[in-house]
C-alpha cells in the first residue's frame, strides 16, 4: 500500500545517508530492502536460546551464517562485537546494539541500560546503532533520558539509529499487551516522533483488544494493522521482527504482509538460527524471495 520511503526523502544528514546506503544498497539484495540477523539473545534471554542448536552458542558460527545468508547486517552487543567482528570486519555491516538487559528480574518497570556509546560504534566500524525503547514503561523518564543522549550522539556522528520500539511494562499488560495492534502502532509512532531513523516493531495482533482504546476495538485484518503501523512510522523506515520461532509458512506470510505495507525489511534471529545450518539457509532463501519483489531506488 504505502510506498517505502527512499533515502532521499528522509531528510538525513550526510553520514547517516552514507551508512544507510551501504546497508541497503551495497549488501544483501542491494535493492533497498534489508534483512538483519540479531544476536543478543544470549544476553536478553540467556544461553537457553542456544539449546535448540548448540552451534548457535558460538558467535563465530553466527557471523558466518549472516555472511553466507546474504544478510544486510548483524546485530551484536559490545562484548561480542569487540571479540568476533574483527575477523569479518567490513565484509558485513555491523549494527552495534547499545543497550540490553537480562530477563531475570521483573519486567513491570522495564528499562534497558546502555552498555556502549555511539563512539564505540564508530571505533568498531559499525554502520548503525540499535537502542531498545520500552514504550509505556513506568520507567519511561529514565528510558527517555538515556535515549536522548544516544539520539544526540547519533545525530552528531552521522550514525543511523535503529530503535527497537517495544511496548512493555505493567500498564501495557492491562491495555492489550505488548504485541496488540494498539501497542505496536503507538510504539511505531513514538519512535518516529522521537527521531528514530529506522524502527523495529513486532508484528501487530489486531485481535488483542482487551483494555485497548475504543478506536482499536473494530475488526482489523493483519494487513490493515501492519499498514497502519507503517503509516504511523511515516518517514521512519520499518523493520518487522520475527520474534520467537514459529512455523515457516506463517513467518513468510508475515514477511510478505510487512513488505506489502511498506516496511523496509525484516529482522529475524531465532527463526533463522534455532535450526541446523542447511535449514537456516533454506529459510533465509524464502525470505530473500519476498524481499526481492520490493526493489526501491536508492
Concerning whether 254 is annotated as a catalytic residue, the answer is: no
Least distance (Å) from a copy of itself to the CB of residue 292? 28
Nearer to a copy of itself, 66 or 290 (CB): 66
Cell of 95: 549494527
Cβ contacts of 141 within 8 Å, gap of 6 or more: none
For residues 31 and 24, what is the distance between their CA atoms, to the nearest angstrom? 7
Strand locations in 90-160 (E): 94-97, 128-135
Nearer to a copy of itself, 164 or 186 (CB): 186
For residues 206 and 225, what is the distance between their CA atoms, to the nearest angstrom? 6
Look up cell 559490545; give the residue. Answer: 78
Least distance (Å) from a copy of itself to the CB of residue 30? 25
- Of these residues, 97, 175, 178, 200, which one is catalytic? 200
> Angle at CA 213, nearest 5°, toward 244 and 200?
35
266 beta partners: 35, 240
Nearer to a copy of itself, 28 or 73 (CB): 73
Concerning whether 200 is annotated as a catalytic residue, the answer is: yes
> Angle at CA 177, nearest 5°, toward 176 and 181?
60
For residues 257 and 225, what is the distance between their CA atoms, to the nearest angstrom? 10
Cβ contacts of 6 within 8 Å, gap of 6 or more: 32, 296, 297, 298
Least distance (Å) from a copy of itself to the CB of residue 139? 8
- Of these residues, 131, 134, 147, 166, which one is catalytic? 166
> Angle at CA 102, nearest 5°, toward 96 and 105?
150
Nearer to a copy of itself, 92 or 255 (CB): 92
Please state whether 209 falls in left (phi above 0), alpha (psi between -120 and 50) or beta: alpha
The answer to whether the beta carbons of residues 35 and 71 sit under 8 Å apart is yes
Nearer to a copy of itself, 159 or 291 (CB): 159
Cell of 275: 535450526
For 101, phi then psi, to 5°, come to: -160, 165
Q: Using CA atoms of 269, 35, 285, 44 in order, give the dihedral in degrees to the nearest 10.
A: 0
Nearer to a copy of itself, 80 or 266 (CB): 80
Report the catalytic residues.
Answer: 166, 200
Amino acid at each position: 500500500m504505502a510506498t517505502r520511503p527512499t533515502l532521499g526523502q528522509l531528510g538525513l544528514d550526510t553520514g547517516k545517508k552514507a551508512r544507510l546506503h551501504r546497508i541497503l544498497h551495497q549488501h544483501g539484495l542491494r535493492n533497498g530492502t534489508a534483512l538483519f540477523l540479531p544476536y543478543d539473545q544470549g544476553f536478553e534471554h540467556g544461553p537457553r536460546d542456544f539449546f535448540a542448536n548448540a552451534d548457535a552458542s558460538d558467535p563465530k558460527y553466527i557471523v558466518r551464517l549472516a555472511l553466507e545468508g546474504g544478510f544486510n547486517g548483524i546485530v551484536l552487543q559490545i562484548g561480542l562485537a569487540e571479540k568476533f567482528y574483527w575477523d569479518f570486519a567490513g565484509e558485513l555491516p555491523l549494527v552495534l546494539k547499545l543497550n540490553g538487559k537480562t530477563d531475570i528480574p521483573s519486567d513491570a518497570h522495564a528499562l534497558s541500560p546502555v552498555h556502549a556509546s555511539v563512539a564505540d560504534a564508530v571505533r568498531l566500524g559499525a554502520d548503525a546503532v540499535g537502542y531498545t525503547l520500552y514504550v509505556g514503561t513506568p520507567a519511561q523518564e529514565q528510558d527517555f533520558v538515556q535515549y536522548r543522549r544516544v539520539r544526540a550522539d547519533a545525530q552528531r556522528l552521522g550514525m543511523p539509529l535503529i530503535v527497537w520500539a517495544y511496548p512493555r511494562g505493567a500498564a501495557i499488560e492491562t491495555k492489550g499487551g505488548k504485541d496488540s495492534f494498539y501497542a505496536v502502532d503507538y510504539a511505531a509512532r513514538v519512535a518516529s516522533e522521537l527521531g528514530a531513523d529506522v524502527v523495529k516493531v513486532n508484528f501487530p495482533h489486531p485481535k488483542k483488544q482487551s483494555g485497548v482504546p475504543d478506536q482499536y476495538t473494530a475488526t482489523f485484518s493483519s494487513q490493515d494493522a501492519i499498514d497502519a503501523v507503517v503509516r504511523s512510522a511515516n518517514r521512519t523506515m520499518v523493520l518487522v521482527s520475527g520474534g520467537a520461532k514459529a512455523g515457516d509458512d506463517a513467518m513468510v506470510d508475515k514477511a510478505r504482509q510487512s513488505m506489502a505495507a511498506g516496511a523496509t525489511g525484516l529482522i529475524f534471529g531465532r527463526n533463522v538460527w534455532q535450526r541446523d545450518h542447511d535449514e537456516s539457509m533454506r529459510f533465509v532463501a524464502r525470505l530473500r524471495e519476498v524481499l526481492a519483489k520490493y526493489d526501491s531506488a536508492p
